[in-house]
Chain A
């Protein structure tokens, strides 16, 4: 086949230009910046300046710990919930399917700021509807913002509410691509519904579930808006500060670009590791 270099690059150039300037170059640049001392003018090359500080910085370990804690609890809970939602929404027995779909998928269109504001109000100590409802059934109200554990729980609840339906959409698409006759054969062989789910549905869904998990992990790893707005700049006292918030605070409050780039590349390192694990989990069997 004859090559069509000129035509092809005419179509590609505008995109490649933007891609190179605003994505590829910054990826390289931020790596280089992480090795520079950026609080002196001009910046100077100082390979251990930021990375050395990072390794000894309690604020970094605090943010890393909080981020990983949210990851380890929130992502599995949300993915399980999304699987349940998708499987039940796919059930032929369900009536008024559209209403249920709307309920679970609607948060997908809600912006971070809008829902952060609502959650902040709903969970406020004295006038929040959640504490009022807890008290009305005889439970003690919870101080969601002044104690670390409830504050972390609140962040996880909020993120799960926002993203479970998104993952359910992906999983539902995966479910609907499983051919019907697989189940018909199993039903003829009197395999119970539960066993069909465990031994047919889940294995066939594995690539989609792993994909959702990777997307969610990378998303949650960069968590910023929720601890910024809901728990007020990572409060109480840094108790919900994430890596994303640390990057913001260092880069854009203290204008310490070098250190913030080191934090960013730590996140990238984690993301690359997680992507490699995904590729390994979904590799083609030999």
Chain B
């Protein structure tokens, strides 16, 4: 049933990575991605691979879950590899038909592939170990300096968490409306893609109406419970850095320094 789908791809288990403050994980993911694009030799990639492997091991999430995320980018990966392989000018290695593979092209293609694969594994490690709720909290806290520039940080994160809460409810509703229409002879199955898409329109209208009605009710319920924006608000689960979070920052910056030194500056 639709109700049972899990949001995001959180994997429930007890591990050091799961317990870390979401802010640490967000910053770590960003730093990791930056290092991936800064390094330009293979020693750098070996360091990144070792770091990533350690983190995956620590998170206790089975490796196949990381690979799952890869399926969606296989096509992108292929394009990146093929284009880099054939279209980079330089010293030709071999050629067939009109295409020439160059030494530079081969190097770039392999690097691009490694970058993309690491990037996906790194970011799915974050989403696998952090609940969506925690993630929005972390983002709110991290971006809170932007409040001074009148960016509605609290409001945006509140919107995100409400959206997350209502996705299963609206899915269930879609299911109900669909069944009600099928019972009265609607056909969502047959026909080509265009016909199928067209048959979804009568589904969207009642869905939107009900979503607006819910939004109206929810706004009233929130006001009745004294909601008045982020001002004067306290947190039930405030984010406070623990010892392990500080240690994690230490490890992260040590990794970034080593990786950039060996991966970019240091040459054999």
Partners in one complex: no
Chain B residues in contact with chain A, CB under 8 A? none
